[in-house]
A and B are shown apart, each in its own frame.
Chain A
Amino acid sequence: MTKIADFHAYPDAHGRFGDFGGVYVAETLMEPLAELTEAYNRLRNDPSFIAELDRDLKYYVGRPSPIYHAERLSRHVGGAKILLKREDLNHTGAHKINNTVGQALVARHMGKTRIIAETGAGQHGVASATVAARMGLKCVVYMGAVDIERQKINVYRMKLLGAEVIPVTSGSKTLKDALNEAMRDWVTNVADTFYIIGTVAGPHPYPQMVRDFNAIVGREARQQMLEQYGRLPDAITACVGGGSNAIGLFHAFLNDASVRIVGAEAAGEGIETGRHAASLAAGKPGVLHGNRTYVLSDENGQITETHSVSAGLDYPGVGPEHAFLKDAGRAEYVGITDDEALEAFHLLARTEGILAALESSHAIAQAMKLARELPADALVLANLSGRGDKDVHTIAAREGIEL
């Protein structure tokens, strides 16, 4: 394992995080991606763009989001203090809006008139439809037919916001297939269309750009920890689907060696059953959706179907920066099962009055495990990436309740 001096120095100019990342796409997309990279590199250093973004984050998204001490939950669990970064309080109810607000501004600066997006849980689709409505841009969202069924409320929200939702019926009919379909749309309509990818996956510059737009979460949290607690947390954790909320929280802490970093992947029905979506914990390096990363794949190189109770974690790849952090030994990635996530969901609801998204419930479950291991004066910070309203039907159905 090579020692990394500065985790903030990645990716390199080719979009590589060590052995991971890069640009593995069809030739037709090379030039558009180069244009996007150039535009993004110009804008991210442009004070007027930064000011514009800051304004939107403050007055439209509602940032900063607070850090909340979940006292009753902590007491119930026993052990360290559990603190929650409340991304669920953002406009549209999840961290996803941090990214779409940023990418929509990039799209406008590039003169694009049509937005496309892929979505799993529908949170990114809603966040994309939201910013498109606000800017008067046309918006098309690709969503797997299976996910449309289990995230009906978000599908309707997108429609209310004026977006067109296109069901994807190829492959496993979930998030990965929606991403394929959005890529196909982009290749075909690249002249007027901006593709807002919803997580830190895809070809360069997406893993970097999406990370940068979500890194506000960790920057705020680090500052808030110092202000509210006079020190950094002992451990931080977040759920990992593609990995955007996780890298958003982790990034500001990567060079703080005292902070333990743990990503919670979806272990579904248990990693040993094969029905899971734990790409880092159980996969191997491969190439998917434009980058080299850990993937779940069979020996023929076919991407395998995943399972998670939460649509947003049901993805067989993961952002390349997480693959890099795993191999560098800077972050650990562990599995949380459907049952553990649901238990955490209920416990948080009853002890704190917060309905967490099923995705975020994986982070809560992991925070509970960490808290149990640590002494009472330790601080565990979890990213509460989104609110659970969208999941009420799924939870009711699992418990045999008809609404």
Chain B
Amino acid sequence: MKPCPEDIVRYMHDYLDGEITRRDEQILKEHLEKCPECQQHMDGLSRSVAFLKSAAPIEAPEGLASGIMASLPKERQGAGVRRWFGRHPMLAAVAMFVLLAGAALLSNFNTEDQFAVSRQPNLVVEGNKVTVPEGETVKGDLVVKNGELHIEGEVEGNVMVINGSKYMASTAIVTGQVEEINQAFEWLWYKIKAAVKDSISFFEGDGGDGEE
């Protein structure tokens, strides 16, 4: 009796995978007809496949989907909040105002009632009087709290006087904006506006994935 072809078992698997060449299939069929052992092997494989295919479909248990939905992390990276803030910046500001108008910022304002001035060269400070001397240039934003500001020279930046007074000589030059804030609520509002501006630019800068 002729020995079994070398690759006969591989042909069986190729056949089961539906990837057998016509030539190999011919070899396989001819051999199986005359070799009971290979025939038995092939039958065993075919039965295994039929057996697997007899497996009944299995369905997910009741409530799995709702369980999954309930355990998802809350909205992606605060998308909802970001969306809302992006659409309603003023409402957001008011909400924040209401939220914060209580103790925090007000007490903060009150504790900051001592004289303070931003530190820049060329500034002359005597007591709580701050002077930008004539002919001098102060670079950067100038902030004076609870003091008197005299500008005779030039400021390259914004000027802000909080709870104080300001005197500008005819020679004064300020390249930025000049703001005076003299009341607690104005101060608070200023802080809120700054915060909202920051957060809006943050929202906008974060890409449009919070938009519909």
Are A and B a genuine interacting pair, yes or no? no
Q: Which residues of A contact B (CB under 8 A)?
A: none
Q: Which residues of B contact A (CB under 8 A)?
A: none
